[in-house]
Amino acid sequence: IDEDCDGQDWILSSTDDEYLFNIQINPNPATDQLTIESPIPIKSLKAYTIEGSQIAIDNLANEPIVISHWRPGLYYIRVELSNGKSVSKKVIKE
């Protein structure tokens, strides 16, 4: 369901694997950096503003993502897993 009509929410059916809900982004809200944890290896990460503009992310070997240069507000992190499934999580930058 696209809760805020921005086109960035992804629909998960009841048949999706439970591990999609176990992806954790911490801390949230955040000021300087984010750490993403997943039970399945992460293939790629993408970040979007609330307006839908993509933001470049440097993430090598599951290191924390530096967000200190982002403006305060709401963002979406799209996590694509090595098995081809993906999920979007909301993040607040303070």
**What is the Cα–Cα distance from 17 to 68, expressed in whole angstroms?**
33
**What is the Cα–Cα distance from 91 to 34, expressed in whole angstroms?**
9
Between these two residues, 57 and 93, which has the higher pLDDT value? 93
**What is the Cα–Cα distance from 19 to 82, expressed in whole angstroms?**
13
Between these two residues, 3 and 14, which has the higher pLDDT value? 3
> What integer pLDDT is reported at residue 2 of this predicted model?
47
Contact present, 12 and 20 (Cβ < 8 Å): yes
The 10s digit of each residue's pLDDT in 13-67 is 444 556 566 889 999 999 999 999 988 888 889 999 999 999 988 666 568 899 9
pLDDT beyond 60 at 5 = no
Alpha-carbon distance values, 71 to 14, 20, 24, 43 (Å): 35, 28, 22, 26
Contact present, 40 and 83 (Cβ < 8 Å): yes
> What integer pLDDT is reported at residue 55 of this predicted model?
92
**What is the Cα–Cα distance from 26 to 64, expressed in whole angstroms?**
10
Tokens of 28: 């949230």
> What integer pLDDT is reported at residue 19 of this predicted model?
58
